[in-house]
Amino acid sequence: MKIFICEQDPYKAKLIQDILGVYNYKIVTVQKQADFFKEAYHQKPAVIVMNELFAHNSDMDMLAKMRQDPVISLIPVIYISDKKPSERKVDAMTIDNLIEFVQEPVKIKNLRHYIDRWTTLRSLYIKH
């Protein structure tokens, strides 16, 4: 199964890729926001792991675009941010049950748990 890692910092992306690669995920790294939608249509990932810096200060706009897209709206997103939940400006239209907000620093075992949650145990967490 394919996991998208959306990260601007190539060293951090490589670190996440190396650590998660041990768990038999096929990791695809996207470093440019402009390539994101094209790659998502082509690769069709099971989960998107996105760092807030990837969205270039338009984090909620990026999430809104993703949720309005007919293909990408069905893909779970693990959104990693250094902001506390109370500090985050969240648009109610953007948030659905397929977005998981995680605060940095993230432990790799927790990240793997989130990925497993959205791949292996997905039917338990999605409410129709």
What average pLDDT does the segment 72-96 reach?
70
Average pLDDT over residues 71-75: 86
| Reported confidence tier of residue 86, pLDDT bands at 50, 70, 90 | low
Average pLDDT over residues 77-101: 68
Higher pLDDT, 46 or 108: 46
10: its two tokens = 């190539």
Does the pTM of the predicted model rise above 0.75? yes
| E strand spans, the chain | 2-6, 26-30, 47-51, 77-81, 99-103
pLDDT of residue 101: 81
User: Average pLDDT over the chain, rounded to whole?
Assistant: 77
Pairwise CA distance, residues 79 & 105, whole Å: 12
Which structural domains are found in the chain, ordered by start? 2-125 (3.40.50.2300)
